[in-house]
C-alpha cells in the first residue's frame, strides 16, 4: 500500500514538474512494489516443507525471487541512465521545482526508513535473504531520494546562490544518474549473492575448517576426508566421506559418524550431515590386520593366521575356509586371488602358504552316544594332560567324534600358556582315540 501510494505521488509530481530525478524515483518505487510482491510470494514458497521432488526444501525460491527483482531493477536502471545521459549531454533543461516535490521526497524518506528497519529485524529473525534484499532496496531508495533532493535544492537555490546555468540545467539529471548508479549497485551486490547461493558457493575457508574438525576426531584416518557443503536458503547440508581403520566393526563406524555429525553441527549450527565411512589403510597398520582386511574385502574367511619376518621377507601362513561344495580347481582360484591381493598390498617380498579348509554352512547331523562318552572319559583318565578336565559333551557325527571339554586354569595363567596346554591335550586325546575328529576346549578360571 505504501509503495503504491509513493509511486503514484512521485509519478504525478515528476510528470507535472518534468523532474527526471523524481520520475527515476517513481520507477524505482514501482520496482520496489513489484519486489515486495515477489518477496511475499517467494517467502511463502520457501516455507513449504521438503517433498519427494524437492528433498532439500524450497528455500532457494528466495534466491530466484531476488534474481527476478534484480533483473527488473537492472532494466529500469538502464532506462534511467539513458535519459540522464541524454539530458546531460544533448538536451539540458531544468524542471519546475515546487514544494510538492520536496514534500513527496521527505515523506518517501520517512516511509523507507521505517520499512527498512522493520524488514531488517524480520530478516534477522527469520534468516531470510529475500527480506534482507527488500530491506536493502528501501535503504537504497533513501539514498536515491537524498540525491534527488540535493538536485532539486540546487535548482531552487539557483538565484540566491547565483549558481551557473550549466549546473542548474543538469542537476536533476545528475541526481537521476545517481539513482541509476545506486540501482546498479544493488543489482551487482544482491544479484551476485543470489547467483553464488544458486551455484552452491560456500564461505571462504569453510571447507578447510570442516575438514580439519573431522580429521581431529579420533578414529578418522588423516588424508581420507572429503567434505562437500551446500546451503539451501540458510540451512547447511554437508556430505562427508572419511576413512577409518580397517577391521573396525559396523557399530564403531556408526559411532564415529555420530561424533563427526556433532563436530559439523558445532561449526554450522543446525547442519544436516550425511557421513560415509570407508575402511582405509594406515601407514602403521599391522600386517595381520592388512591380511584380514584383504580377505574381508574379497568375501573370504581366514583363521590360524601366522606371520613371520625372515630377514627382509614376510612369510605368511593361514587357513582359508571355503565351502565344501567347491571343486579343488574352484577353491584354488579363490586362494590365488587372495595371495595376489596380499602381495600387491604388503610391502617388500611376500611369500604365502594357504591351507584350504572345507567349510559347511549347514548344520551336520549328530547324536549323543553313551558308550562313546565313556570311551572319551576312560581315555582322558589315562592322560597326564587331562588334569582339571570335565567332559561337557560328546557327539557322534558322520566324520567321527566331536568332543567338548572344560579345563580349569589358575587366573594368573597367561593366555599363551593356557593355549599351549589345551593344544597339548587335544593332540594327546586324538592320539589316544583316532576317531576323534574335533576337540573343543572351554577354559575356565579355577575357583
Q: What is the CATH number of the domain that holds 396?
A: 3.30.70.1350
Q: Among 198, 222, 239, which residue terminates a domain?
A: 198
Sequence-distant (6+) residues with CB within 8 A of 88 are 170, 173, 174, 177
Q: Are residues 56 and 178 in the same domain?
A: yes
Q: Are residues 270 and 294 in the same domain?
A: no
For the cut 90, the answer to whether the pLDDT of residue 316 exceeds it is: yes
**Among the listed residues 83, 94, 97, 95, the one whose alpha carbon sits nearest the alpha carbon of residue 177:** 83
pLDDT of residue 303: 92
C-alpha cell at 429: 586325546
Q: Averaged over 401-417, what is the pLDDT?
A: 93
The pTM of the whole model exceeds 0.85: no
Q: Among 259, 280, 301, which residue terminates a domain?
A: 280
Q: Are residues 265 and 345 in the same domain?
A: no
What percentage of residues in the chain have a pLDDT greater than 70?
A: 92
C-alpha cell at 255: 559411532
Determine how many CB atoms are found less than 10 A away from the CB of residue 290.
19
Give residue 225's Cα distance to chain centre: 11
For the cut 90, the answer to whether the pLDDT of residue 434 exceeds it is: yes
Q: Summarize pLDDT for 102-147 with one digit per residue, the tens.
A: 787 788 788 878 878 888 888 778 766 667 766 776 776 777 777 7
Q: Are residues 314 and 265 in the same domain?
A: no
pLDDT of residue 153: 82
Which range among 15-29, 201-215, 343-357, 389-403 shows the weakest confidence by mean pLDDT?
Answer: 15-29
Cα gap 164→211, rounded to integer Å: 64
Q: Which of 6-10, 72-76, 167-171, 392-396 has the highest mean pLDDT?
A: 392-396
For the cut 70, the answer to whether the pLDDT of residue 28 exceeds it is: no
pLDDT of residue 63: 84
Which range among 41-55, 121-135, 273-287 shows the weakest confidence by mean pLDDT?
Answer: 121-135
pLDDT of residue 16: 66
Q: Summarize pLDDT for 246-279 with one digit per residue, the tens.
A: 878 889 999 999 999 999 988 888 788 999 999 8
Sequence-distant (6+) residues with CB within 8 A of 188 are none
Question: Sorting pLDDT into bands at 50, 70 and 90, what band is 227?
Answer: very high
Q: Summarize pLDDT for 139-190 with one digit per residue, the tens.
A: 767 777 777 778 778 878 877 777 787 877 888 778 778 878 887 888 888 7
For the cut 90, the answer to whether the pLDDT of residue 212 exceeds it is: yes
For 161, the domain range is 2-198
Q: Averaged over 279-296, what is the pLDDT?
A: 89
HSE of 200 in the Cβ direction (CA atoms, 13 Å)?
Answer: 7
For the cut 60, the answer to whether the pLDDT of residue 1 exceeds it is: no
Give how many domains the chain has, as a whole number: 4
Which range among 34-38, 233-237, 327-331 shows the weakest confidence by mean pLDDT?
Answer: 34-38
**Among the listed residues 298, 249, 244, the one whose alpha carbon sits nearest the alpha carbon of residue 276:** 244
Q: Are residues 185 and 226 in the same domain?
A: no
For the cut 90, the answer to whether the pLDDT of residue 27 exceeds it is: no
Sheet holding 366-368, edge to edge: 366-368, 389-397, 401-409, 436-445
Sequence-distant (6+) residues with CB within 8 A of 80 are 20, 24, 27, 176, 177, 179, 180, 183
pLDDT of residue 172: 74
- What is the residue whose three cell numbers read 518477496? 39
Q: What are phi and psi of 55, to 5 degrees?
A: -65, -25
Cα gap 272→279, rounded to integer Å: 23
Q: Among 167, 198, 229, which residue terminates a domain?
A: 198
Cα gap 351→307, rounded to integer Å: 10
For the cut 80, the answer to whether the pLDDT of residue 444 exceeds it is: yes
Which range among 5-19, 31-45, 166-180, 409-423 shows the weakest confidence by mean pLDDT?
Answer: 5-19
Q: Are residues 242 and 193 in the same domain?
A: no
Q: Are residues 439 and 374 in the same domain?
A: yes
What is the chain's mean pLDDT, rounded? Answer: 85
Amino acid at each position: 500500500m505504501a509503495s503504491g501510494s509513493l509511486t503514484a505521488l512521485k509519478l504525478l509530481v515528476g510528470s507535472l514538474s518534468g523532474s527526471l530525478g523524481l520520475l527515476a524515483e517513481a520507477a524505482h518505487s514501482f520496482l520496489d512494489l513489484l519486489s515486495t510482491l515477489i518477496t511475499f510470494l517467494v517467502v511463502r514458497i520457501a516455507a513449504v516443507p521438503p517433498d519427494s521432488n524437492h528433498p532439500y526444501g524450497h528455500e532457494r525460491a528466495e534466491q530466484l525471487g531476488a534474481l527476478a527483482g534484480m533483473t527488473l531493477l537492472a532494466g529500469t536502471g538502464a532506462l534511467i541512465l539513458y535519459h540522464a545521459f541524454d539530458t546531460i549531454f544533448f538536451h539540458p533543461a531544468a524542471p519546475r521545482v515546487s514544494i510538492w516535490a520536496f514534500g513527496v521526497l521527505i515523506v518517501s524518506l520517512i516511509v523507507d526508513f521505517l520499512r527498512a528497519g522493520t524488514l531488517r529485524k524480520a530478516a534477522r529473525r527469520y534468516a531470510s535473504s529475500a527480506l534482507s534484499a527488500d530491506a536493502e532496496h528501501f535503504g537504497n531508495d533513501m539514498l536515491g531520494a537524498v540525491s534527488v533532493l540535493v538536485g532539486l535544492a540546487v535548482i531552487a537555490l539557483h538565484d540566491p546562490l547565483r549558481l551557473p546555468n550549466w549546473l542548474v540545467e543538469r542537476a536533476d539529471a545528475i541526481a537521476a544518474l545517481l539513482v541509476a548508479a545506486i540501482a546498479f549497485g544493488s543489482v551487482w551486490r544482491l544479484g551476485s549473492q543470489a547467483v553464488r547461493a544458486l551455484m552452491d558457493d560456500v564461505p571462504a575457508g569453510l571447507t578447510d575448517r570442516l575438514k580439519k574438525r573431522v580429521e581431529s576426531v579420533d578414529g578418522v584416518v588423516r588424508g581420507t576426508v572429503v567434505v562437500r557443503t551446500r546451503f539451501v536458503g540458510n540451512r547447511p547440508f554437508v556430505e562427508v566421506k572419511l576413512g577409518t581403520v580397517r577391521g573396525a566393526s559396523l557399530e564403531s563406524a556408526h559411532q564415529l559418524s555420530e561424533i563427526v555429525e556433532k563436530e559439523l553441527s558445532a561449526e554450522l549450527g543446525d547442519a544436516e550431515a550425511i557421513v560415509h565411512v570407508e575402511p582405509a589403510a594406515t601407514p602403521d597398520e599391522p600386517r595381520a590386520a592388512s591380511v584380514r582386511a584383504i580377505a574381508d574385502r574379497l568375501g573370504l574367511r581366514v583363521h590360524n593366521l601366522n606371520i613371520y619376518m625372515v630377514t627382509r621377507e614376510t612369510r605368511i601362513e593361514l587357513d582359508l575356509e571355503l565351502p565344501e561344495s567347491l571343486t579343488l580347481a574352484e577353491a584354488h582360484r579363490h586362494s590365488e586371488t587372495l595371495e595376489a591381493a596380499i602381495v600387491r598390498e604388503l610391502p617388500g617380498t611376500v611369500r604365502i602358504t594357504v591351507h584350504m579348509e572345507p567349510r559347511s554352512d549347514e548344520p551336520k547331523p549328530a547324536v549323543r552316544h553313551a558308550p562313546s562318552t565313556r570311551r572319551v572319559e576312560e581315555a582322558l583318565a589315562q592322560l597326564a594332560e587331562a588334569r582339571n578336565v570335565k567332559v561337557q559333551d560328546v557327539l557322534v557325527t558322520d566324520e567321527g567324534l566331536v568332543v567338548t571339554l572344560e579345563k580349569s586354569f589358575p587366573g594368573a595363567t597367561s593366555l599363551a600358556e593356557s593355549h599351549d596346554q589345551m593344544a597339548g591335550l587335544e593332540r594327546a586325546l586324538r592320539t589316544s582315540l583316532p576317531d576323534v575328529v574335533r576337540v573343543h576346549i572351554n577354559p575356565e578360571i579355577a575357583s
